[in-house]
Amino acid sequence: MKQTSLETNEAKYYAALFNGIKSKLHQFNLPHYQMYDVIHETYLRGIKLLDSGQEIENPRAWIRATSFNVIREMSRKQKKEQSWDSNLIERQLAPEASNSLSSANSDDENLKLLELALQKLEPQDSQLIVLRHIEGLSWQQVVSHLASKGEYITEASARQRGNRSLKRLRKIFFELKKHN
C-alpha cells in the first residue's frame, strides 16, 4: 500500500513542530495566530545563519530551539509593551485623580523638551535611541536595521553607541530644562 503525504515522517515532523509552537505560544500567553510569525522569523534567522557561512548540523533541533527563542522574545516584547501601556495609563489617570493640571503640563513640557533634545542630537545618535527605546527593537534587530541601510556594526558596538547616545540625550535634555 502506498503512503499518502500525511503519513510520511516529514509530515509528522511538521505537525509535531506546529503543535510544539502552538503549545509554547499558549504557555507564554500569546495568541495562536502568531505561529506563522514565529515560523517566518525562524526561517529568516536560518537564512541569515546560512548566508553567514555557518552550517546547521541538526536542522530539526535548531528549528525547535530557535522557534522557542523567538517565542520568548515575542513574550518579552509583549510584556514590555503591556507594562509601558499600563504605566502610560497610570500617568494619564494620576493627574485626573488628583485634579492636578500642573503635573499634566509638566509632562507635556518634558515631552516637548525631549523631542527638542532628540532633534539636537546627531542623526546617528537619535536613530539609535528611536530604534531601541521608542520602537522597542532588540539590539540584534537594531543592528539588522542599520545593516539594511548600509551601516554594518556589531551588536556590542551598537549597544555602546546607544549608551553614549543616551548620555548625550540626557545632557541636552537637562540643559534645555535648566534654561526653561
Comparing 9 with 71, the larger pLDDT belongs to 71
User: The domain containing residue 47 runs over which residues?
Assistant: 10-99
Of 65, 99, 133, which residue sits at a domain end?
A: 99
* Contact in structure between 31 and 25 (CB atoms under 8 Å): yes
Of 70, 99, 128, which residue sits at a domain end?
A: 99
Of 54, 74, 99, which residue sits at a domain end?
A: 99
Based on the domain organization, do 24 and 57 belong to the same domain?
Answer: yes
**Rounded CA separation 34/71 (Å):** 9
**Is 2 part of any domain?**
no
**Is the whole model's pTM more than 0.85, yes or no?**
no
pLDDT at 47 over 90: yes
Cell of 61: 533541533
Reduced to 3 states (helix: H, G, I; strand: E, B; else coil), residue 55 is: coil
Q: What is the largest CA-CA distance in the chain?
A: 85
pLDDT at 43 over 90: yes
pLDDT at 159 over 60: yes
Task: CATH number of the domain at 128, please.
Answer: 1.10.10.10
Q: What is the pLDDT of residue 15?
A: 87
